[in-house]
Amino acid sequence: MSEITPEVVRHLAQLARIGIADDEVQRLTGELSQIVDAVATVRQVATEDVPATSHPIALGTVTRPDVVGTPLTPDEALAGAPERDGDFFKVTSILGEEQ
């Protein structure tokens, strides 16, 4: 059994600057005890010759070749724009900015 007591939970809450009520202290005492007990169980099973892993399956970055394609013309890019100003998208000003 872990050594998590209500006093430890209150101390941790104070360190984290979290205000907790008495009913939360009791609930968290039980939950934190279960977590600490679970970690202790895993420590008993883990062996020194097993390397630590962050994922059970080796992952690699999936990429595709960077192939230069045909770019859109300004007319194609702006075809669905609600408004345009020459070769640019026209949008409403923000934060009271005027041009």
What is the set of domains in the chain, with CATH numbers? Answer: 6-45 (1.10.20)
DSSP 25: H
CA distances from 14 to 7, 22, 25, 29, 44 (A): 10, 13, 12, 14, 31
Can you tell me the mean pLDDT for 21-37?
Answer: 93
Please write the tens of the pLDDT for every residue from 67-92: 999 999 999 999 999 999 999 999 88
Please tell me the distance from the alpha carbon of residue 78 to that of residue 85, in angstroms, as a whole number: 10
Whether residue 17 is predicted with pLDDT greater than 90 in this model: the reply is yes
Q: Centre a 10 Å sphere on the Cβ of residue 41 and count the other Cβ atoms it contains.
A: 10
Predicted model pTM:
0.47
